[in-house]
Amino acid sequence: MGDLRDAFKKAGLIDDKTDRRLKHEERVQRGELGREGLAQQKQQEEQERRQREEEKRAEARIAQQKLDASRQQNERWKKLLHELEEKAQRGTSGPRRFHYHEPDGHLPFVLVDDDSGRRLEAGELAIVRLPPNDEPALVPRALALDLQSFDPSRLLHLA
pLDDT in tens, 78-95: 888 888 887 777 767 778
Q: Which residue has the higher pLDDT, 18 or 134?
A: 18
Average pLDDT over residues 28-47: 82
**Element of type H or E holding 155:** strand 155-158
pLDDT of 60: 93
The mean predicted confidence, pLDDT, of the chain is: 82
pLDDT exceeds 60 at position 30: yes
Instruction: Mean pLDDT check: name the lowest of 44-53, 73-82, 95-104, 137-146.
Output: 95-104
pLDDT of 125: 85
pLDDT exceeds 80 at position 153: no
Q: Which residue has the higher pLDDT, 22 or 52?
A: 52
pLDDT exceeds 70 at position 1: no
Buried b (16+ CB within 10 A) or exposed e, 43-73: eeeeeeeeeeeeeeeeeeeeeeeeeeeeeee
